[in-house]
Amino acid sequence: MRWACWPASSSICRPVSCDASQDTAQGNPLALLEFAASAGGPRDGGRRRATVTSGMSREVRTLYDARIERLPEPTRRLLLLAVLDGSGDLGVLAAASGPGGLDDLGPAERDHLIAVDDRAGELRFRHPMIKSVVVERSTHEERRKAHLRLAERLADQPERRGHHLAEAAFTPDEEIAAAVEDGAHRTLQRGDVVGAISRLLRAADLSPNPADRSRRLADAAYVGAHSAGQLDSASELLHDAHRRDPTLGEKLRAAAATAYLLLNSEGDAETTHRLLTAAVESALAEPDQDRDGLSEVLYTLVLVCHYTGRTEYWVPFHDAMSRLGARAPTDVRLLAKTFADPVTAPNRTLAELDDQIEQLRNTEDDALIIRTAIAGFYADRLPGCREALLRVVRDGREGGAVGTAIMALHMLAIGELNAGRWDEAQRLAAEGTAMCEERGYRLYAWAGRYAIALVAGNRGERGACQDICQAMIEWATPRQLGRLADFAHHALAQAALAACDFEECYAHATAISPPGTFRSHSLQALWTALDLIDAAVHTGRDEEARAHAEAARQADLGRLSPRFALVTAAARAMVASDDEAPALFGAALAVPGIEEWPFELARVRLAHGERLRRLRRTRDARSQLAAARDGFERLGARPWARRAATELGATGATRQRVNGGGASLTLQEREVAQLAATGMTNREIAARLYVAPRTVSAHLYRIFPKLGITSRAALRDALNAVPGDAAP
C-alpha cells in the first residue's frame, strides 16, 4: 500500500493500491497521478470509485477533457487565449481578455491545470496535453476570434501580430499578407531563417494578387537558397512563382533568387551577370525602388563579379553604386569599397568597416554577419568577425541557416589558417565542403577545398594540393570563374615555394598578377605578394622583385593590417642592398601585432636569417633561423622547417635550440618580457615604462630569438625556464 494525492485540488491523501494503480497507469507517471485523482477526492466527496482504464495517453487526455469541460466558459476562453498566444505573458493575456481581466483564471488554477507566477508575470500549463485539449474543445470561430483579439493587442510586435492575423484569415487578404511578410523579414533579422521562410510562404498563400504571390514565393526561394541551404526546394518555389507570373524574371527578388541558384549549382557566371545587371537597370529606372530587393540583387552581383575575377564585370556594379550614391545599402556599399578592391579603400571606409564589425556582437542577423565578414575578408578583418561567424555556424549545425553557415565555415577556416591553427582550419574547411556536397553548393565547395589545398601544400603534401588545384582549374575554366583559378595558383605557388621550386612558384604567382602591379580587383595578388618577391629573388629576377616591392609600397598595403605592413616592409628588405637589409628586416619584425600572423612572421625571419648568413653574421643568423624553424614546426609546415633547418645547419649550428637564456636579457628587456607575459599590450607596457610603443616592439623583436620563441604566448614558459627569472 502507498499514498497518492489528488493534484487537482488539494493535498489530501488517501491510500491507493500500488498494484492496482500501476496496472491501470501502465507505467505512465502522469497517468498514475491522474487516475489517482479520478478515483475520488474533494471534487466529489470521495463518492466516485476508480475506473479501470488502459492508462494510455488518450485515457489521460479523456481525464483532462472532463476537467476542462467542468470549467466555466469564461475560464475556457481565457485558457484558449493563453494557448494561442503561446508566450505565457500575463500582460498580453490581460489586455486580450476583456473587462473581466484575469479573474476567471481562478477555477483552472485551483484545479491545478495551470500555474500562475505573479513575480515573473507568467502563466504555465501543467502539461502540454492540457493545451492540446483546450484547442481541440474550441470551435473554429472561437479560435478565430481569439487570434484577432491577440492581434489587436500586439500591434507593436509585427511578427506575432502577423502570425495571429494569418491564423484568423480564411480568405486571401493583401493587408494581412503584407503584415505577415513584414513579420517574416523581422524574423530573418533575428537569424531564424526557417521561420522566415514559413512566414513568407504563408504571406504568399494570403496574397489575392498573383504577382504579389509570386514575388513572395521568390523571396522565400532566395532566403532558402542563400541562408537555409535549400537549393532544391528553392528551385521548386521559383518554378511555381514563374508559372503564376511569367513577368517575374524582371523583378528584383526573383532575379536574385534565380541568379543565386544558377551561380551556386552550375557556376553559370555569364547568365547570372546578365540577369542581375538587367534587373538592376530596371530597378534604377523605377521611381519607387524596392530597397531590400535591390540590396539582395547587388549583393549577389558582387559575388558573381568576385568569382569571375574579370574587371569588366565590375563596371555595371560600380556604375549602379555611383547612381545610387547615399541611397546605396550600407552593407553593399562596404562590399563595393573593401571587398571589390581593398587597395583603393579609403581609410574612412576601413574605419566604418571596423565599426560595423564591432556591432556584430549584438546581432543575430546571419545575412548581416556574412556580408560584413566578406567586406573584411581581404582587409584582414576576419579575427574581429570570428565570434559572430561561430554563432552562424552553430545555428547551421542545428538546422537553421545552413547556407550562410557554409560561407561562415569557409571564412573561419581561412581565419584559422592565418592565425596558425592549421589543424582547425582543415577541420572547418572539410566540414563546410561536406555541407556543400550534401546540399548541392558546387561553387562554394571550392572555397573549402582552397583552404585545404593551402594547408596541404605548406605541409609538404604537394600531390594532394596539386590534385585539388587541377580539379579546380578544370571546373573553373569553361565557366570563366577566374577567381577559382587564382585560388589554385595561390596554393600551388606556396606548395612550390615550400619545396624550394622557385621557378614554378614564380610562374603561379605571376599568373595571378604580373610583377610590379596589383591589378584592379585581383584580390589573391595581395596574398601572393611575398611569394612572388621570394621566388623572384631566388631566381635572379632582381628587377622584377624590386618592381613588385615598390608596387606594394606605393599601394600602401600596410595601412590595411599588421600582416600587410609586415609583408610590405619585408618586401623592401628582401630587395635592399646588403648594407640596408638588416636594419630594414629589423624594422619589419618590429611592426606591432605581427605575432598574430605566425606563418608570415616565420617566413620573414627565414628571409632575414638567409640574408644574415650570406653576410657572415653567423650568430644573428642563427637566432633568426632557429626562431623561423621553430615557428614552422609549430605549424606543422615540415618543408618550410627543413628549409630553415638547412640554412641553420649551414651556419654550423647543431640541432640544439639557439637560446641566449635569461642572462642575455638586459634589465629593460627582462621588464618588457615579464609585462608582456601578463598579457599587456605594447601600448600598455610603454605607458608603464614611460617609453614609446615602438621601443617596446623593438625590445620584443630582440627578446624572442634570445629566448628561442616566436610569440607572446610562449613568454611565460620561456621565462619560467630561465634560472633566477621568475615569470609574473
Nearest Cα neighbor of 123 from 152, 147, 97, 154 is: 97
pLDDT value, residue 188: 77
What are 187's three cell numbers?
A: 524574423
pLDDT value, residue 674: 82
Residue 657: how many other CB atoms lie within 10 Å: 13
The DSSP bridge partners found for residue 4 are 14
Q: What gap in Å lies between CA 494 and CA 492, rounded to an integer?
A: 5
Displacement of CA 192 from its chain's centroid (Å): 14
Q: What gap in Å lies between CA 507 and CA 241, rounded to an integer?
A: 49
Q: Which amino acid is at 165?
A: L
pLDDT value, residue 284: 87
| Helix, strand or coil, per DSSP, at residue 224 | helix
Q: Dihedral angle at the C-alpha atoms of 594, 598, 601, 607, nearest 10 degrees?
A: 180
The answer to whether the pTM exceeds 0.85 is no
The DSSP bridge partners found for residue 123 are 116
End-to-end CA distance of the chain: 68
CATH domain 73-153 topology:
Arc Repressor Mutant, subunit A (1.10.10)
Q: What gap in Å lies between CA 551 and CA 546, rounded to an integer?
A: 9
What are 429's three cell numbers?
A: 574547411
Tens digits of per-residue pLDDT, 196-220? 777 888 888 888 888 788 778 777 8
Nearest 5°: the CA angle 565, 566, 572 is 95
Displacement of CA 21 from its chain's centroid (Å): 54
| Helix, strand or coil, per DSSP, at residue 5 | strand
Phi and psi angles of residue 462, each rounded to the nearest 5 degrees, phi first: -65, -35
The DSSP bridge partners found for residue 624 are none
Tens digits of per-residue pLDDT, 293-340? 888 889 999 999 999 988 899 999 999 999 998 888 888 889 998 998
The DSSP bridge partners found for residue 114 are 125
Residue 82: how many other CB atoms lie within 10 Å: 27
Contacts of 325 (CB under 8 A, 6+ apart): none
List, for the chain, all residue ranges whose pLDDT scores fall below the cut of 50: 1-33, 35-55, 655-663, 723-728
Residue 387: how many other CB atoms lie within 10 Å: 11
Q: What gap in Å lies between CA 530 and CA 509, rounded to an integer?
A: 9
The DSSP bridge partners found for residue 5 are 13
Which residue's C-alpha cell is 626562431?
627
pLDDT value, residue 451: 97
Write the CA distances from 42 to 73, 111, 591, integer angstroms. Answer: 22, 11, 82
Residue 637: how many other CB atoms lie within 10 Å: 27
Write the CA distances from 175 to 158, 168, 205, 219, 588, integer angstroms. Answer: 13, 13, 13, 18, 63
pLDDT value, residue 7: 36
Nearest Cα neighbor of 338 from 206, 87, 523, 175 is: 523
Residue 247: how many other CB atoms lie within 10 Å: 10
Q: Dihedral angle at the C-alpha atoms of 372, 375, 378, 383, nearest 10 degrees?
A: -20
What are 142's three cell numbers?
A: 472561437
Phi and psi angles of residue 214, each rounded to the nearest 5 degrees, phi first: -65, -40
Q: What gap in Å lies between CA 445 and CA 21, rounded to an integer?
A: 59
Nearest 5°: the CA angle 15, 19, 25 is 95
Among the residues of 246-325, which ranges form H helices? 252-265, 269-284, 291-308, 311-324
Kindly state the DSSP code that residue 115 receives in the 8-state scheme: E
Q: Max alpha carbon distance in the chain (Å)?
A: 108
684 CB-side CA count, 13 A: 9
Q: What is the 3-state composition of the chain as percent helix, strand, coil, each rounded to the nearest 5?
A: 70, 0, 25
What are 509's three cell numbers?
A: 604567382
CATH domain 662-720 topology:
Arc Repressor Mutant, subunit A (1.10.10)
Q: What gap in Å lies between CA 509 and CA 242, rounded to an integer?
A: 45
Displacement of CA 129 from its chain's centroid (Å): 38
Kindly state the DSSP code that residue 50 receives in the 8-state scheme: P
Among the residues of 575-617, which ranges form H helices? 581-589, 598-614
What is the C-alpha R_g of the chain?
33
Displacement of CA 172 from its chain's centroid (Å): 38
Q: What gap in Å lies between CA 275 and CA 277, rounded to an integer?
A: 6
Nearest Cα neighbor of 7 from 142, 127, 116 is: 127
Q: What gap in Å lies between CA 52 and CA 234, rounded to an integer?
A: 53
Nearest Cα neighbor of 223 from 57, 43, 370, 433 is: 370
Element (H, E) at 4: strand 2-5
Q: What gap in Å lies between CA 251 and CA 243, rounded to an integer?
A: 14
What are 185's three cell numbers?
A: 523579414
pLDDT value, residue 244: 66
Q: What gap in Å lies between CA 339 and CA 372, rounded to an integer?
A: 10
87 CB-side CA count, 13 A: 17
Residue 163 contacts residue 155 (beta carbons within 8 Å)? no
The DSSP bridge partners found for residue 89 are 122
Burial 196-213 (b: 16+ CB within 10 A, else e): bbbbbbbbbebbeeeebb
Write the CA distances from 291 to 175, 253, 294, 324, 332, integer angstroms. Answer: 20, 11, 5, 11, 12
What are 543's three cell numbers?
A: 628587377
CATH 1.25.40 boundaries in the chain: 556-658
What are 635's three cell numbers?
A: 605549424
Report the CATH architecture of 556-658: Alpha Horseshoe (1.25)
CATH 1.10.10.10 boundaries in the chain: 662-720
pLDDT value, residue 234: 67
Q: Which amino acid is at 545?
A: A
